[in-house]
Structure 1
Amino acid sequence: MPQGMSAYTTVIYDCDGVMFESFEANFAFYSRVLEKFGKPPLDRTNAETMHLLHTYSSKDVLARFFVDDPREDAALCYAASIDYRELLPFMHMEAELVETLQALYSRVNLAVCTNRSNSMELLLEDFGLTSYFSYVMTAAKVKKPKPHPEPLLKILEHYRITPGEALFVGDSVLDQRSAEAAGVPFVAYKSDLPGFAQIKHHSEILVLLENRNPSVNMLP
């Protein structure tokens, strides 16, 4: 196991909103599904719907859009058939991510914990990030995705570590609830959610690991 800086041996990243700004890609993805099945178009002004498609697994999102609709399974199959490569131009990597991963790579375990189902590996490959992460946990690999703790618990089991040896960097209530339930310290990225710390830049993760510098917005 890599020797971590401070007590932490593992940093776990959420994908959407943390590693990538992916709102437009998610919007385009679900718009295709709804159009295919003659559903009303997405309303950008509906904050609840926009939050839903940006944070929940595709299975959960489509379950909401196809309530009491016998075509739900067909919609799931169609969604799985969409070539996500066509949506990659809508994805934008967050600033300082690569530089931070390079600094962390030889010193801690790096993992992904996302509610994406089958596009995460493609994203990592296309953006040249595959080699940094030794474990990738997706919604397709668990029975209960975030906000359930199962995805994080499986990561802890994989590395044979305790919850206190990891940090989970996320941006949503689902991430926060999953971390809390698993006992993993939660680092809120560009968010005011409660947790171990709040950061606005990826490089601040290095500060948290190295010396817990008080200049980072640590929470009581």
Structure 2
Amino acid sequence: MIKNCKIIIFDCDGVMFDTADVNRMYYNKLLLHFKMPEMTDQQFAYAHMQTADESMAYLFPDKEMLKAAQAFRKSLNYADYTPFMEIEPFLKPLLKALRPFYKTAIATNRSDTMPRVMKEFGLQQYFDMVVTALDVKNPKPHPEELLKILSHFNLNPEQALYIGDSKADELAAKAAKVLFAAYNNVNLDADFHIKSLKEIKDILNITGKL
């Protein structure tokens, strides 16, 4: 159980949503458009943790092709992909349980797609702050996203719990000195390991069912 916690911070991909299939579909469309092979597991693992710009630069190392690929990416409508995103079953019930007692925020390496995701799934009302890669100079694994949230609410690191699923999340949490709950990834060094957001209720000692 955590004492003196004031804010719960969520990563997006892999925590709030299962986006593995969507992200693979999205980047494969870009690669195939330029007659390149579909993503390897190594490429996918990288893209899952990094910003869109970093992922694109990794997938398209040729500068001219990267420029063309970025232009094509911006022509895509991400709304076509949101129906394939799977929301974590206990996300909204957990958020409803948290809201009377805690601030809630998102720290994600997503960029221009985040507003669309928030709107499509009706999540705006559940979060006090959303920080994306566009809002900082240094995205995760740098701690700037988390530190920006702490600063906004005038909180100390020990008053925050961050829920993430990747090495980038682990490193950001450690650097920001916030408590870290690893979602469905036993390979991460974390204060807590969970397989469902339902387990956050027990960590925070929230009574009642979700």
Confirm or deny a common fold (TM above 0.5): yes
Q: Give the Å deviation of 1:75.
A: 2.1
Q: Select 1:201's aligned residue among 182, 196, 205.
A: 196
Q: Does 1:114 align with 2:108?
A: yes
Aligned length: 204
- The answer to whether the 8 A contact 2:141-2:171 is kept is yes
Structure 2 Cα separation of the partners of residues 127 and 138 of structure 1: 17
Which 5+ residue runs of structure 2 have no aligned equivalent? none
Structure 2 Cα separation of the partners of residues 78 and 180 of structure 1: 36
Structure 2 Cα separation of the partners of residues 105 and 126 of structure 1: 20
- The answer to whether the 8 A contact 1:20-1:94 is kept is yes
Structure 1 Cα separation of the partners of residues 106 and 156 of structure 2: 17
Name 1:8's counterpart in structure 2.
5
TM-score normalized by structure 1? 0.87
Name 2:85's counterpart in structure 1.
91
Q: Does 1:36 align with 2:30?
A: no
Paired-residue identity, %: 38
Structure 2 Cα separation of the partners of residues 113 and 88 of structure 1: 19
Q: Select 1:142's aligned residue among 131, 136, 145.
A: 136
Which amino acid letter does the alignment assign opposite residue 39 of structure 1? M
Structure 1 Cα separation of the partners of residues 135 and 35 of structure 2: 30
TM-score normalized by structure 2? 0.91
Q: Give the Å deviation of 1:28.
A: 1.5
Name 2:205's counterpart in structure 1.
210
Spell out, residue by residue over 1:127-149, the C-alpha distance to the aligned partner (whole angstroms, 9 max, x if none): 11110011001111111111111
Which 5+ residue runs of structure 1 have no aligned equivalent? 212-220
Which amino acid letter does the alignment assign opposite residue 207 of structure 1? D
Structure 1 Cα separation of the partners of residues 102 and 86 of structure 2: 25
Structure 2 Cα separation of the partners of residues 79 and 20 of structure 1: 21
Structure 2 Cα separation of the partners of residues 74 and 8 of structure 1: 46
